[in-house]
Structure 1
Amino acid sequence: MESQMGLAHFWGQGDLVTHTTAVILALLSLASWSVIVSKLMSLWRASRLQERALSGFWNADSLPEALEGLRRDDVSGVFSGLALTGAHAAQAHQQNAARGIGAGVNASEFVTRAMRSHIVNTQARNERGLTFLASVGSTAPFIGLFGTVWGIYHALVSLSGATQVVLDKVAGPVGEALIMTAAGLFVAIPAVLAYNAFTRANRLVAVQLDGFAHDLHAYLTTGVRVGGNANLVSLDAARGNRQG
């Protein structure tokens, strides 16, 4: 009897509900690991080139060159998208300062609105998939527990017609049914750990993006980078050169 106990025996003795629960857990595990691997690769690529990309941006000789270098080096598009948004907003305000969307709005406020909107969209994009991981982490243990309860119920029903029930006939099915609880934890624990890790990583990115946004805003509105040395030609100087 003992040789027949195990996962294969539990699957063979299970019914539609048990099989469906196991398939759901397997699909949740596969989907959560897909999200985990995808976000890990994205974070690794972004962190590997981020410092070089920002350094190249601030040490460029001109704004167009800085934007092109940042777009090339920032594979995540987080910082390059913000820089392009800010630069386009500053240019649009300069061209429409006396009419249209630029009328009555100073350059600082106009650039701030554009960059803030981009930051919000970027944060929403970075958080994509985290809700799914949180849902898996919170529901998978209960799905596994449901499978266990149903497995025990199914095992006890199968023994209800026996005239004599000994401990080994009950312990085997109950032990097999507990596999579902273990499966639920196996699915939930990586999802919870990944959710916490990615949430922290996103907070760090948000802080770095906010700092870059402040420096970029100061440069686009005043022509000076606050808090660092930059080779970028000031906007006022560049405008004077174009006029000359």
Structure 2
Amino acid sequence: MISRITGFLAAIAMAATLAVPPAHAQDQAASAASTAAVEAAPVIDAAPAEPAPAASKPADNPYSLANIVAHGNVVDQVVLVILGIMSMGSWYILVVRLWDTSKLASEAKDVRANFFKKASLADGIKGLKEESAFRYIASTAVEASEHHEGALTENIDHSSWVTMNVDRAVADVNSKISGGLGFLATVGSTAPFVGLFGTVWGILNALTAIGVAGQASIDKVAGPVGAALIMTAIGLVVAVPAVLGYNWLVNRNKNVMSQVRAFAGDLHGVLMGNRAIAKR
């Protein structure tokens, strides 16, 4: 196109040269030639260059957990909420019971070292912390030993009466440090199935959408099914710590409660020994 325009302008310049007086023919020819050269030069766009487009942000993964939380259906979100509650409850129980058993083990060590070296049971009890489980057991045992009266309780011998009260106090301590273990067992046994339910529901919705769209290519199937399988993975992530924590706490409780029962037995022996001495 540029060559055609150049040829057309050159023809006009030649006609003008023939029409002007001979005195100006050379000047006009040079002018025409320069004009033709200018016209023949490629046209340079003077418009400012457009700025380079900014680097685009990576596209959000439509099959990620965040997308399920933001755009999932009601069933998916309910399943995630249930699994979240299970997980938070499990970790809360693990931390609290770990603190309780550690505290009780520390108290047991201190009791073994100092309690029975006191001049009297009263002094031993005063040396224990107010919230100590061992102080609760000792106070219960001493109170039962000192208050064995009444028409009904007199039918129970003194040793059996003290034993019954001490056993009840020990059972209270055991019940406190065992609280929440049932929840851990429930989470460990049901969380995988809750996650599996979310997976089945997600796959059902994905296959239904694929059937409606009439497209069964791998990119249409893999994404939704993969997103649904996230539910199963979350269920396992919730269940495994609950099962491991349950077994761990059960073993810790056995070890700690064996020390508590040993203290209760020793305390019972001291009370019976004191009573025998008092009768003399």
Interval of TM-score (by shorter of Structure 1 and Structure 2): 0.7 to 0.9
Partners in 2 of 1:177 and 1:21 — Cα distance? 12
Structure 1 residue 184 corresponds to structure 2 residue 235: yes
Q: Which of the numbers 182, 189, 196 marks the counterpart of 1:138? A: 189
Identity of aligned residues (%): 38
Name the aligned partner's letter for residue 128 of structure 2.
L
After alignment, is 104-113 or 178-187 more displaced? 104-113
One-letter identity of the residue aligned with 1:80: R
Identify the residue that residue 141 of structure 2 maps to in structure 1.
86
Give TM-score scaled by structure 2 length: 0.73
Matching residue within 224, 236, 243 for 2:277: 236
Partner of 2:97: 39
Give the structure, 1 or 2, with the largest relative contact order (CA under 8 Å, sep 6 or more). Answer: 1
**SS of residue paired to 2:212:** coil
Q: In the alignment, which residue of structure 2 is the partner of 1:49?
A: 107
| Distance in 2 separating the partners of 1:103 and 1:4 | 76
Q: Distance in 2 between matches of 1:189 and 1:156?
A: 30
Q: Structure 1 49/118 Cα, relative in aligned 2: closer, same or farther at 3 Å?
A: closer
Distance 1:166 1:78, change over 3 A: same
The 5-angstrom pairing of residues 58-207 of structure 1 reads 58-72=116-130, 75=131, 77-93=132-148, 96=149, 100-207=151-258
Deviation at 1:161, TM superposition (A): 1.9
1:189 Cα offset (Å): 0.8
CA distance in 2, matches of 1:3, 1:113: 64
Per-residue CA distance 1:79-136 (angstroms, 9 max, x = gap): 221111111111112xx3xx53442432211111111222222222221111111111
Taking structure 1 as reference, are residues 221 and 101 closer, same or farther at Cα in structure 2, changes over 3 Å only? farther
Q: Distance in 2 between matches of 1:101 and 1:221?
A: 21
**Alpha-carbon distance change, 63 to 209 in structure 1, aligned in 2, over 3 angstroms:** same
* Distance of 2:259 and 2:146 partners within structure 1: 24
Per the TM alignment, residue 12 of structure 1 is displaced from its structure 2 partner at its CA by 4.5
SS state at 1:108 partner: helix
Q: What code does the residue aligned with 1:103 have?
A: E
Q: State the distance in 2 between where 1:129 and 1:3 align.
A: 38
Which deviations, in whole Å up to 9, do the C-alpha atoms of 1:9-38 show, x marking residues without a partner? 334552111111111111111111111111
Could you say what secondary structure the match of 1:103 adopts?
helix
Retained in 2: the 8 A contact 1:53–1:69? Answer: no
Structural RMSD (CA): 2.2
TM-score, length of structure 1 as denominator length: 0.83
| 1:8 alignment counterpart | 66
8 Å CA contact 2:163–2:268 kept in 1: the answer is yes
Q: Which amino acid aligns with 2:212?
A: G
Contact 1:10 1:177 in 2 (8 A): no
CA contact (8 A) 2:90 2:184 kept: yes
Moved more, 175-184 or 31-40: 31-40
CA deviation string 1:143-187 (max 9, x = no partner):
000000001111111111223311121011111111100100111
C-alpha contact 1:126 1:202 (8 A) present in aligned 2 = yes
Aligned letter for 2:139? L
- Give 1:55's aligned amino acid: A
